[in-house]
Structure 1
Amino acid sequence: MNDRASRPHRLRRTAPALALAFLMSGAPFAACGDSPAPAAAPSSGSRQEGFPVTVTNCGRTLHFDQAPSRIVSGWPTSTDLLAALGLTDRVVGQYNTGNGTAGSTYAEAVADIPVLSDAAPSRERLLAARPDLIWADGSYLFDGQQLPTIDELAAQGTQVMILSGFCTDDATRARVADVRTDLAALGQIFGVETRAQELTGQIDTRLAAVAAKVNATRPVPIAMISSFGGAIYTYEGVYSDIATRAGAINIYAGTLPAGQYYGELSKESLLQKNPGTLVYLLSGAETETAARTTLTETLSAVTAVRTGRVVFLPQWNSTNLAGVDGVETLAAALHP
């Protein structure tokens, strides 16, 4: 999801979707000796029904004596999912907002949530929000310098939950269905199991409908690309999963080094493979008009560009409910 690579090794944000969040995160470092501010005290001394709750996330055990009341969301699609669960009144901050926009269904619900940073938050702003739960897009920020470590935060009463597809910050492992794992955990943590199960059922129904539509079709060969700073990138991981589920095959799947979910492509490579269909992943605030201009100026000889066979898909349509949106959008474009 974290556009996951803002430093070359994981694409976030403007360039490769989950990659440039690193590069673009110019948040100041705080002194290592700063102590995390304690999370907000419980609003009531009484034990909530159904608690305590213990869940497993990315190999760690998270324990909750009561449902968190102050959440910080680290990815736009995560904020949308919290809204879908009816939890926006508990979200006290969000960051990485420059990596995507709220889905139309949830735009109004999340509009008033404070933005801590459009990239990575500073230690000061994060701790000032006094979260008792941070739902992060990866563990890369919690290094004890940019932000306190996960253990340091836990000692102060703040739990950190990581998007399950990015547990090891290895975005090649992420899949569309990871949202089911996170929904199950969130349902337990907040005591909203019924709503979480409803959403999971809707996801399964939507994906099954796409599968029924494309299963009898021949997979469409596609190249999934984006551009940033004059360079062209391709993607693996969840993007290849989206392609497969949508009745396509990513022609660059399996060509990147192990553990690398995006990589730069030469113009010569694209000309040689000459794909008949391109899926262009729009970064951050990049518009379709700007992307078309880029393609015309740099890849006009590629068949897909010459014939107008280009599908535009927001890069952030890859995690949580937006990943399902991405499957549906791509399938509709390739198999009308």
Structure 2
Amino acid sequence: MTACHPTSRPTSRPTTRPATRQLARWATPAAAVLLLSACTSTDTTTPTSSEVDGAEVTAGQVSVQNCGRTVTLDEPAQRVVSGWTTSTEVLLAVDEGDRLVGQYNSANGTPSEEYADALAEIPVLSAAALTREQLAAAQPDLIWADGEYLFDGSQLPTIDELASQGTQVLVLSGFCGDDATAATVEDVFTDLDAIGTLLGETSATEELADELRERLDAVETRVADQPETPLVFIADYDGVLYTYDGVYTDIAEKAGGHNLYAGELPPGQYYSEISREDVLSRDPGTIVLLTGPGADTEAAVAGLSELLPGVAAVSEGRVVTMPESDSTNLRVVDGVERLSQALHP
């Protein structure tokens, strides 16, 4: 079925997933029939077809593999809903912001200065998780989601249900399923390739990927002969400390550091609560303090001094602040660069 579109186009904190609640169905059977009648193409030309990764793709369609699924659109996406601030920035970076009809989770990310003004013009469907009603009002043909957790058939329709209604879901590749421990810096290239294909703009995303690769290569060259700096990632929430693994460990390694908690968190978890005593026993050379949107970094560092006065990194001023957003998409490369400069000035 060819989807109908209007003529216009558009904390690092361990977050508890929004409680699901039973909402109205995505569309009533009668509405579905009307939609099919209005949107089904009358073209009787027999299209040619080919296979992409084992799935048949008709000429004119665009298709990618994502989280073990084949995501196929009858034509490049024209109406996109973004589920993460850094994903929104990618579309702005390749000059495709006019395809954005909405964003959600907007309160959970800090826009970069480069894209802040343009991002503020994108309609906010929800500052947090999205509801069925908000999604239906936006009428997207593609949702670029931060994970699969919302598509449970209760909070939102399942991914398969949405596909049957003409809306496809692309998930950030490091956040497939419930386990984000396998996320890496390299995911940015997988995701750029996928979104470029689904937008029909692979030349723009390939050019951007080349620029990012050059920046990462430059960091690798600069820190190649430097000793690894032992460090820990910490977030402080009302005096409760958390540490991180997953993509943060990869960021550290590429920046010339070593995460002392790498591989030590409970299976399947990329964050975990830790005690002050445990941090003190490891006595890291550097602490990377992750900060959320609108955080007062000076106050955050001062608060850490009160919580961990016996840790050398704190008492000797080796605390590096890092925005939580520097962990996905374009911003993960920013994170590698900034951390490498802090560890090896």
- CA-to-partner distance for each residue in 1:203-243, whole Å, 9 max, x for gaps? 11000000000111110000111011321000000000000
- CA-to-partner distance for each residue in 1:57-93, whole Å, 9 max, x for gaps? 1111111111111111001100001111211101011
CA distance in 2, matches of 1:177, 1:21: 26
CA positional deviation for 1:311? 0.4
1:263 lines up with 2:272 in the alignment: yes
Contact preservation (8 Å) 2:233, 2:259: yes
Contact preservation (8 Å) 1:96, 1:118: yes
Instruction: Give, as a single letter, the amino acid of the residue that structure 2 aligns with 1:220.
Output: T
> Who is 1:77 aligned against?
86
Q: Secondary structure of 1:92's partner? A: strand
> Who is 2:160 aligned against?
151
> Who is 1:31 aligned against?
23
* The one of 183, 192, 195 aligned to 1:186: 195
Return closer, same or farther for 1:45/1:321 CA change in 2, 3 Å cut-off: farther
CA positional deviation for 1:33? 3.7
Contact preservation (8 Å) 1:138, 1:168: yes
- CA-to-partner distance for each residue in 1:185-210, whole Å, 9 max, x for gaps? 12211111111110110111000000
Contact preservation (8 Å) 1:135, 1:163: yes
CA positional deviation for 1:300? 1.6
> Who is 2:135 aligned against?
126
CA distance in 2, matches of 1:132, 1:21: 28
Sequence identity, in percent? 51
> Who is 1:222 aligned against?
231
> Who is 2:7 aligned against?
none
1:113 lines up with 2:105 in the alignment: no
What is the correspondence of 1:158-237 to structure 2 with a 5 Å cutoff? 158-237=167-246
Give runs of ≥4 in structure 1 deviating > 4 Å.
36-42, 44-47
1:20 lines up with 2:15 in the alignment: yes
CA positional deviation for 1:262? 0.5
- CA-to-partner distance for each residue in 1:24-54, whole Å, 9 max, x for gaps? x47x734264438879988x9999xx72122
What is the correspondence of 1:271-286 to structure 2 with a 5 Å cutoff? 271-286=280-295
- CA-to-partner distance for each residue in 1:255-302, whole Å, 9 max, x for gaps? 112211110110111111122210001123322023113202211221
CA distance in 1, matches of 2:186, 2:272: 24
> Who is 2:56 aligned against?
none
CA distance in 1, matches of 2:95, 2:178: 28
Larger gyration radius, structure 1 or structure 2 = 2
Return closer, same or farther for 1:45/1:106 CA change in 2, 3 Å cut-off: farther
Q: Secondary structure of 2:148's partner? A: coil
Instruction: Give, as a single letter, the amino acid of the residue that structure 2 aligns with 1:270.
Output: V
CA distance in 1, matches of 2:103, 2:297: 26
Contact preservation (8 Å) 1:225, 1:235: yes
Instruction: Give, as a single letter, the amino acid of the residue that structure 1 aligns with 2:203.
Output: T
TM-score (norm 2): 0.86
Q: Secondary structure of 1:279's partner? A: strand
CA distance in 2, matches of 1:33, 1:72: 20
More deviation, 91-100/243-252: 91-100
- CA-to-partner distance for each residue in 1:83-122, whole Å, 9 max, x for gaps? 1121110101111111112212212222210111221112
Contact preservation (8 Å) 2:232, 2:259: yes
> Who is 2:105 aligned against?
96
Contact preservation (8 Å) 2:80, 2:140: yes
Q: Secondary structure of 1:199's partner? A: helix
CA distance in 1, matches of 2:25, 2:116: 38
CA distance in 2, matches of 1:79, 1:209: 26
Instruction: Kindly tell me the number of residue pairs found equivalent between the two proteins.
Output: 316
Q: Secondary structure of 1:172's partner? A: coil
Q: Secondary structure of 1:56's partner? A: strand
- CA-to-partner distance for each residue in 1:135-182, whole Å, 9 max, x for gaps? 001101110111111111111100000001111231101001101111
Structure 2 residues without counterparts, runs of 5 or longer: 1-10, 48-58
More deviation, 279-288/128-137: 279-288
Q: Secondary structure of 1:20's partner? A: coil
CA distance in 2, matches of 1:280, 1:253: 16
CA distance in 2, matches of 1:225, 1:141: 27
CA distance in 1, matches of 2:95, 2:280: 48
Structure 1 residues without counterparts, runs of 5 or longer: 1-12
Which gives a bigger RCO, structure 1 or 2 (Cα 8 Å, sep 6+)? 1
TM-score (norm 1): 0.88
CA distance in 2, matches of 1:229, 1:145: 32
Return closer, same or farther for 1:45/1:251 CA change in 2, 3 Å cut-off: farther
Instruction: Give, as a single letter, the amino acid of the residue that structure 1 aligns with 2:267.
Output: A
More deviation, 289-298/314-323: 289-298
More deviation, 56-65/210-219: 56-65
Contact preservation (8 Å) 2:62, 2:200: no
Q: Secondary structure of 2:181's partner? A: helix
